[in-house]
Amino acid sequence: MSSDDQGSLKGEASAMLSSPTSSQGPPHALSSKPPDLPDELVQAGWSKCWSRRENRPYYFNKFTNQSLWEVPVLGQHDVISDPLGLNAATSDGSDGNGGLRKRRISEDQESNTIKRAKVEPTTPISPNTPGVKPWSSAQDEKQVAQVNTLNQTATPAPYKPSVIYWDLDIQTNAVIREHPPAAHLPPHPEIELQRAQLVTKLRQHYQELCHQREGIDPPRESFNRWLLERKVIDKGLDPLLPSDCEPIISPSMFREVMNDIPIRLSRIKYKEEARKLLFKYAEAAKKMIDSRNASPESRKVVKWNAEDTMNWLRRDHSASKEDYMDRLEHLRQQCGPHVAAVAKDSVEGICSKIYQLSVEYSRRLRQAHLSLLPDATTDSGGSPSQTRLVYCYPVRLAQASPPLPRVELHFENDMACLRFKGEMVKVNRGHFSKLELLYRYSCIDDSRFEKFLTRIWCLLKRYQVMFGSGANEGLGLQGALPVPVFEALNRQFGVSFECFASPLNCYFKQFCSAFPDTDGFFGSRGTFLSFSPVSGSFEANPPFCEELMLAMVTHFEDLLDRSTEPLSFIVFVPEWRDPVTPALTRMEESRFLRHQLKVPAYEHEYRSGSQHICKREEMSYRAVHGTAVLFLQNDAGFAKWTPSPERVSELLAAYRLSSPRPSSMTSPGSAPSADPAPRAPDRTPSSVMSPGNHDNNNNSSSLQEKMAVV
């Protein structure tokens, strides 16, 4: 509200949540004397203010930014069912009992004065009925309209995302053995801020070492893949930084740096580019062998081949692109082993140095984190029985969460912006509402949502740090299948669980993710390599890290070998054949492989890893490589979810591009304009099927008799 419309403020308004409809500060109190309000309303944050524009008093809540003309009534806004006021609805008009009304400009000023910006805060809409989604399908809207008709009230529609990329109504069929709470330390924004600074510093060290020792830029995404590869074998306590790995030298980082020595080879389109690349490689190889401690034989071989190549380039100017590429391949075969031999110790030094710094940073973070926690450590509930079978449930932390500092929230157009100590993270409003739903379903220690914003900030900051700061860096780690594919997987094969996901990109509300400490409050079941289901149907689309994919296959085979209950994994991995990846070879040779199919390159798409912040037209991208889809099932799983030709055809039809446009950016949820394949039906409460509604997709009765459902 402008200074022309308001008086002075009594006290300081310390509202944590700002209204999405106004970025202005809280209005000023009516006077410096105590407000003429009951103590209950004052304690609830209400104060009486004066509007100079309307020349009348109104009432403002400093905790919710709610503004009313009428005297507020306690109980109108339930902070438990809708703590953020995002999914609320207004009551129109007064009912004679002091009902809520939206503030408005007087009719006289509206018709007789110059228009002014509507800067007065509007009344947040009242909370939804507990259990109702913040967006509705057509059937939901009809039911709400009928209720409103009966109550003779006009309720405006709550915030509804234009496209929904998830279905949180699907219940799980994943069965696990009950386990004790996890020993992870609860997230804290101070620690996340410090971790972000140290990881950024570690990335800078990596870049400097590559420049100083090898004269190259770090291979793109190699640091992110190093984090993934190290966490496969890491026994340390930090959720992100590796600190207890054997061996110390990372095969992933060593391999990728060596591939860029002496220079990085890029894709070639034109003849002149191939000529320049050949010359640069010969020059760099000769320079490296002269400056390193190489054997006489290595010096002789490399220098002779490099000089011969340069002489050939000076003589022959009529060679084609293929001639240059053949010559480059020959030069690499002749010089590559000798160059790698002289660079081996230096590259191992880079890998070792980065790991040692990571160990030191992890130790600092652990000490700082423990200093913020109270003396009382874990719950005394004891370890649950390890033989009881239950449906999977989110990660619970043994360590109680301490009081958390406040995080500020404001909205910029369609983005929710959360700020802590000057560090701001963003998420679009659709995903913000999704996170609120996941938190409501999964969190058990914060019924009043007092820690909700702080935990969202920690989650977003963690993934931001893992992605890196480069343009489009790390987004491939969070790529997801299109919505029609998930719908087909659930409908045809009873899939209700994602083995590799996050609260930001998950389709189901039950999933495994990289960070149990931050993600458990939003539905994560922990890391997949520590997740041991007994029964269920699962989708696995892992980050494309060779070491992680190989560990995933080993875990699959171990689970399938131990369980006699229906167990199925549908795996999506890149169709890499030159050279073939060990994980793909292992799955193709597995005795649990029941069916395999390939989706060709450029004929399917993935959802972007930045879907929580990107524009809608950038939500999807074409896959530049083929995708192999493999069905790994035990005997009971094969009998229950058989990949029959009809079911596989339905899955392939769902995988077809949602738009025939040649653009690489398409929307995953839209229907094809000229595709004869049947479109998956819109998701409504009547079409959302529970696990028991599939074709014999519910768990066997013998297993249910042994289960204690949580």
The pLDDT score that the predictor gives to residue 28 is 42
The pLDDT score that the predictor gives to residue 146 is 47
Pairing of strands 593-599, 567-574: unpaired
Given a contact cutoff of 8 angstroms between Cβ atoms, the answer to whether 64 and 15 are in contact is: yes
Q: Residue 147 pLDDT > 80, yes or no?
A: no
Q: Is 468 left (phi over 0), alpha (psi -120 to 50) or beta?
A: left
Given a contact cutoff of 8 angstroms between Cβ atoms, the answer to whether 673 and 659 are in contact is: yes
The pLDDT score that the predictor gives to residue 47 is 87
- Most confident of the following: 57-61, 312-316, 342-346: 342-346
Q: Residue 26 pLDDT > 70, yes or no?
A: no
Given a contact cutoff of 8 angstroms between Cβ atoms, the answer to whether 331 and 278 are in contact is: yes
| DSSP conformation class of 182 | B
The pLDDT score that the predictor gives to residue 471 is 66
The pLDDT score that the predictor gives to residue 488 is 96
Q: Residue 531 pLDDT > 90, yes or no?
A: yes
- Percent of the chain at pLDDT exceeding 90: 57
Q: Element (H or E) spanning 138, and its range?
A: helix 138-151
Would you call 126 helix, strand, or coil by DSSP?
Answer: strand
The pLDDT score that the predictor gives to residue 206 is 96
Would you call 157 helix, strand, or coil by DSSP?
Answer: coil
Mean pLDDT of the chain: 78
Which whole-number Å values give the CA distances from 122 to 42, 56, 114, 637, in the listed order? 20, 16, 20, 55
Given a contact cutoff of 8 angstroms between Cβ atoms, the answer to whether 484 and 652 are in contact is: no
Using CA atoms, how far apart are residues 548 and 542, in angstroms rounded to an integer? 8
Q: Residue 500 pLDDT > 60, yes or no?
A: yes
Q: Residue 333 pLDDT > 80, yes or no?
A: yes
Query: pLDDT digits over 176-218, tens only?
Result: 999 899 999 999 999 999 999 999 999 999 999 999 999 999 9
Burial of 590 (0-12, 13-18, 19+ CB in 10 A): middle
Mean pLDDT of 257-284: 91
Q: Residue 607 pLDDT > 60, yes or no?
A: yes
Would you call 326 helix, strand, or coil by DSSP?
Answer: helix
Give the pLDDT band of residue 160 (cuts 50, 70, 90).
Answer: low
Using CA atoms, how far apart are residues 391 and 536, in angstroms rounded to an integer? 10
Q: Does 174 or 373 have the greater pLDDT score? A: 174
Give the pLDDT band of residue 377 (cuts 50, 70, 90).
Answer: low
Query: pLDDT digits over 639-696, tens only?
Result: 999 999 999 999 999 987 654 433 333 333 333 333 333 333 333 333 323 333 333 3
Q: Residue 445 pLDDT > 50, yes or no?
A: yes
The pLDDT score that the predictor gives to residue 296 is 92
- Most confident of the following: 33-37, 382-386, 606-610: 606-610
Q: Residue 619 pLDDT > 60, yes or no?
A: yes
The pLDDT score that the predictor gives to residue 52 is 82
Q: Residue 4 pLDDT > 60, yes or no?
A: no
Give me the DSSP letters along 230-288.
Answer: HHHH---S-SSS--S-SSSS-HHHHHHHHHTSSS------SHHHHHHHHHHHHHHHHHH
Single out the residue of 288, 266, 278 nearest to residue 314, CA to CA: 278
Report the b/e string of 479-494 with b at 16+ CB within 10 A.
Answer: bbbbbbbbbbbbbbbb
The pLDDT score that the predictor gives to residue 386 is 56
Q: Residue 431 pLDDT > 50, yes or no?
A: yes
Q: Residue 592 pLDDT > 80, yes or no?
A: yes
Q: Does 43 or 27 have the greater pLDDT score? A: 43
